[in-house]
Amino acid sequence: MEQIGREFMRKTRFEYLQPSDQMRGMPQPPLEAAYTGTGPVIDLAPPESVGVDEITLRDAIAGRESVRTYHDAPLAPDELSFLLWATQGIKKTMRDLFTFRTVPSAGARHCLETYILANNVEGID
C-alpha cells in the first residue's frame, strides 16, 4: 500500500493515455440533457441580475474555511440561481456546438449535469 502513489503516477503518465473520444471521432454529447417532464420547471432570475459582493482573490483565499454548522434559514431563489450558474453556467455558446462555461472541460465536451434536491429553498415546496 505504501507504493500506491508511485504506482498511480507511473500508470497515469502521458505514454499510457488512451485516445480521447474526440480523437476517436465519437460524437460530442449534447450541450444539455433533454427535459423529461418528470419534475417541475421553476423560473429563476438570470444569474447576471443577482447581486454578489465584490471581493478580491486574496481576500477570498484568506477567508476560505470549512464550515460544519449551517443556518436554518431557507436559500433565496436568487442565491440558487447564482449557485447553479457557478456550478455549470454557460457564459458563451459557439455555433450551437460548444459552450464556454464557468467550469473547465476537456475540449468543451461537458460530461456533467447539475441536478438539484431542494430541501430548503424559499418558495419551492
Q: Is the pLDDT of residue 56 over 90?
A: yes
Distances (CA, A) of 17 to 8, 12, 52, 109: 13, 7, 41, 18
Q: Pick the residue with more confidence: 66 or 17?
A: 66
**Per-residue pLDDT band at 110 (split at 50, 70, 90):** low
Mean pLDDT of 111-121: 82
Residue 88: exposure state from Cβ atoms within 10 A (0-12, 13-18, ≥19): middle
Ranking 18-27, 40-49, 100-109 by mean pLDDT, the lowest is: 100-109
**Per-residue pLDDT band at 98 (split at 50, 70, 90):** confident
Mean pLDDT of 24-31: 83
pLDDT value at position 1?
64
Ranking 50-54, 64-68, 111-115 by mean pLDDT, the lowest is: 111-115
